[in-house]
Amino acid sequence: MIKIKVYRKEDLITGFEMSGHAESGPYGYDLVCAGVSAISFGSVNAVTALCNIELDIEMNDDGGYLKVLLPKNISPDIKEKARLIFEAMIISLITIENDYKEFITIQDK
């Protein structure tokens, strides 16, 4: 199962952490894993490119762990842009969770 934790401060997303594997299909054909990966990596890439900031990213080699944190000292307008992108990411992930509860869970702290 993929477990996602969303970190917030004063109701604003400050980062997220994903761990585990969906195992909803054979390796290379796991649609839940593919969807979660595409949404999360696309969002991270969008924040990096559109906000022009370096995110604190930690991941392991087997693809079963990703942790992303926003830098602490960024301007309010950049923080708002990043927040909107990450909020859109969470909405997309919740859509997957609604249909595949046995393979993904989201905890919004």
Q: What is the pLDDT of residue 46?
A: 98
Q: What is the pLDDT of residues 7-50, one digit of tens each?
A: 999 888 999 999 999 989 988 889 999 999 999 999 999 999 99
User: Mean pLDDT throughout 85-107?
Assistant: 96
Range of the domain at 50: 2-108
Q: What is the pLDDT of residues 57-90, one digit of tens each?
A: 999 987 789 999 999 999 999 999 999 999 999 9
Distance in angstroms (rounded) separating the CA atoms of residues 58 and 56:
7
Contacts 24+ apart (CB under 8 A), 74-78: 78/51, 78/52, 78/53
Q: Is 78 in the active site? A: no
Q: What is the pLDDT of residue 61?
A: 84
The domain that holds 65 is classified in CATH as 3.30.70.1490
Q: Is 33 in the active site? A: yes
Q: Which of 13, 33, 47, 90 is catalytic?
A: 33
Q: How many domains does the chain have?
A: 1
**Cα-Cα-Cα-Cα dihedral of 14, 75, 81, 65, to 10°?**
-30
pLDDT of residue 1 exceeding 90: yes
pLDDT of residue 109 exceeding 80: no
Q: Which of 7, 17, 20, 21 is catalytic?
A: 21
